[in-house]
Structure 1
Amino acid sequence: MIPRIHQRSPDAVEALGEALGRPVSDQEGLTAYTVVAHWPGLDYYTPDDEQERWTSADWAELLDAPMRDRPFPSSTREDRRAIWHADVRLHPGDRDLTGAEWSEIAHRLARTAGIHTPGDHHGCRWIAVQAQPGRLDLLANLIRADGTWEGQPHNLAKALMSECRRIEADFGLTPPRQGRVPQRPAQPVPALTKATGHPTAHSAEELVGATAQLAELLHQLADEATGPVATVRGLVEHAAYRLDRLPHTYGPAAGHQLELIARRLHSIQQDLEATAAALPSTTRRPAPTTPAITSPQATPARPSR
């Protein structure tokens, strides 16, 4: 089970469309088999059967509502991109899960992500969508019912990865490494001869195995969700935003330097991914597209539901 955290967005339409694998519609209803879990406060003010008639556009509007009702709260980075989105994907060889199992997994991941705390009646609005085979999407509005901004764990990617490993053990699922690393003994990198500097004679399978392993290592280093470079970049960005808020003159200057460092780290991620993709006989992957640092965006006003 592989978790992926998407870039936060100012509204839920795009995130929900990606979770569904199709555009959000005001004609298509989403059943309980699609929305497998949601924030507990939803049941307090809706009839038991009303949710069965909601369209995907209705669900997006419900997630967006706190941004219309609470126009002033912003994150510690002083932006209004309050829609948080993450997904997890099963190994292709895993069995089909039941709706109850998807629901339990959704609640466990929601607690790990800090968007759901049992007994908290003023928490985030969130839903879990199971619309694509072997995939579960979590969407949340980080503006809480009390008007404050929900703070998520600092090491969120690592926390989600750890919880996924526990879920795999509890549900008998396949860890991702078993599906990503070639299922054969490790092959050494071909040695160079002293006379010519060219590789010694090895079979084509040995060469493919060596390059595939090296490419996988580079992919892991550049991974946006769990890679060490992304983790360091996140810490640098956090420090940059904190320095920018300091009133002293050295604060913004130091923050700007950290922003430049974060951008260079992002470039390193892209270079690692490009190098891995260029190795022979490896699966081509798109380079990371998450921007290193973005400027705050305003949220357009929308009528209340």
Structure 2
Amino acid sequence: MIPVLHALGASSADALAKALGRPVSDQEGLTTEGTIVAHWALLDYFTDEDRIWTSAEWARHLGDAHRLHPFAATPKGDDRVILHVSVRLHPKDRELTHAEWSEVGHRLARVTGIAPPGDRNSCRWIAVRDQAHRLDLLANLIREDGVRAAVPRQVLHVVAAECRRIETDLGLLPPGDHGAGPFKAGMLPSAQPIADESASSVAANWSDEANWHLGAARRLVEGAARQLSTSPSNRPALAHQLEWIARRSHILETDLAAVASGRSYAPASGSGPRAPAAVLSPSARSR
């Protein structure tokens, strides 16, 4: 199960459209017995089992908390309060039932801090199940009481750890199992052609997957750089080179996030960090 943390957004409609793979509509109905596999606790106050909301209505209800508490986003007025986390199953995994997908949605909502157990004023959130082997968690970070939710600082790490526990509990395959390494394109669902999928959607899916792998690699490099900079071996030159590689990886992550979110991308020449000069060992310098 591969998690992807999407960039915070200001529009619940845009986030839901990305989760569905198509624009929201006043004509398309989504129900809690189908596409919406899990949701915030107070949803029952707004509707009942017989009510069908359109995808546009779901988006409006998800965004209502920010409209009711417009100054709760940040002191600087940043209105990017829509959290979007998606998880993909291993392509060789079995298909989960509606109840199992619902459990995944509730567990992700708890670990991200948007739905603490027993908290009646938690965030509005929904778990959307409409793309093959994928679940999307969408949440408004403004709680019902007007306070911004306390999301873990390393939320992607927290979600990844929960994914490992879900794989164990539900008997699912980890990303690199069955001889398919995590960087092999054959294990990505987006590698399979989908006739009605737009080019932008394909690009977004590939960008999300690549961004996740880049982020994991960058964190490993950053950890190695920290160890080298503080270890007794005292290898500051190598640590500096690793830090440079990590910075370059971060730039690539930013570029891919722009592609995945549909923003225009124009690389600026010469804007990236310059490569560190090669550092000769003492024995080489003495020659």
TM-score, normalising length: structure 2: 0.66
Checking the alignment, whether the CA contact within 8 Å between 1:220 and 1:227 is kept in structure 2 is no
Q: Deviations over 1:162-211 (max 9, x none)?
A: 1100100111111002232589xxxxxxxxxxxxxxxxxxxxxxxxxxxx
Checking the alignment, whether the CA contact within 8 Å between 2:2 and 2:89 is kept in structure 1 is yes
Partners of 1:11 and 1:263 lie apart in 2 by 35
Task: State the match for 2:123 in structure 1.
Answer: 124
Structure with higher Rg: it is 1
**Aligned positions of 1:9-158 closer than 5 A:** 9-31=9-31, 32-50=33-51, 53-75=52-74, 78-158=77-157
Task: List runs of 5+ in structure 1 lacking aligned partners.
Answer: 184-218, 233-261, 274-285, 292-305
Q: CA deviation at 1:2?
A: 0.3
Task: State the match for 2:188 in structure 1.
Answer: none
Q: Secondary structure at the match of 2:148?
A: coil
Checking the alignment, whether the CA contact within 8 Å between 1:222 and 1:230 is kept in structure 2 is no
Partners of 2:212 and 2:67 lie apart in 1 by 39
Q: Secondary structure at the match of 2:111?
A: helix
Partners of 1:17 and 1:45 lie apart in 2 by 22
Change over 3 Å in CA distance of 1:22–1:75 after alignment to 2: same
Task: State the match for 2:176 in structure 1.
Answer: 177
Change over 3 Å in CA distance of 1:77–1:107 after alignment to 2: farther
Partners of 1:82 and 1:264 lie apart in 2 by 31
Q: What residue identity is the alignment partner of 1:64?
A: G
Q: CA deviation at 1:68?
A: 1.1
Q: Deviations over 1:209-256 (max 9, x none)?
A: xxxxxxxxxx799623x4444997xxxxxxxxxxxxxxxxxxxxxxxx
Q: CA deviation at 1:268?
A: 3.5
Q: Deviations over 1:244-276 (max 9, x none)?
A: xxxxxxxxxxxxxxxxxx9996544346x8xxx
Q: Secondary structure at the match of 1:75?
A: coil
Q: Secondary structure at the match of 1:72?
A: coil
Partners of 1:230 and 1:10 lie apart in 2 by 31
Partners of 2:22 and 2:83 lie apart in 1 by 19
Partners of 2:113 and 2:131 lie apart in 1 by 24
Change over 3 Å in CA distance of 1:221–1:81 after alignment to 2: closer
Partners of 1:136 and 1:124 lie apart in 2 by 18
Partners of 1:114 and 1:171 lie apart in 2 by 22
Q: CA deviation at 1:80?
A: 1.3
Q: What residue identity is the alignment partner of 1:180?
A: G
Change over 3 Å in CA distance of 1:227–1:147 after alignment to 2: farther
Corresponding residue to 1:223 among 208, 211, 214: 214
Q: What residue identity is the alignment partner of 2:122?
A: G
Partners of 2:211 and 2:82 lie apart in 1 by 27
Q: What residue identity is the alignment partner of 1:88?
A: V
Q: Secondary structure at the match of 1:177?
A: coil
Root-mean-square deviation (Å): 3.0
Q: What residue identity is the alignment partner of 1:120?
A: D
Q: Secondary structure at the match of 2:101?
A: helix
Q: CA deviation at 1:135?
A: 0.2
Aligned pairs, how many? Answer: 211
Checking the alignment, whether the CA contact within 8 Å between 1:221 and 1:229 is kept in structure 2 is no
Corresponding residue to 1:269 among 236, 250, 253: 250
Q: What residue identity is the alignment partner of 2:250?
A: Q
Task: State the match for 1:288 in structure 2.
Answer: 256
Partners of 2:213 and 2:133 lie apart in 1 by 24
Change over 3 Å in CA distance of 1:151–1:78 after alignment to 2: farther
Q: CA deviation at 1:72?
A: 0.7
Q: What residue identity is the alignment partner of 2:143?
A: R
Checking the alignment, whether the CA contact within 8 Å between 1:222 and 1:270 is kept in structure 2 is no
Task: List runs of 5+ in structure 2 lacking aligned partners.
Answer: 185-209, 223-242, 260-287
Task: State the match for 1:164 in structure 2.
Answer: 163
Task: State the match for 1:5 in structure 2.
Answer: 5
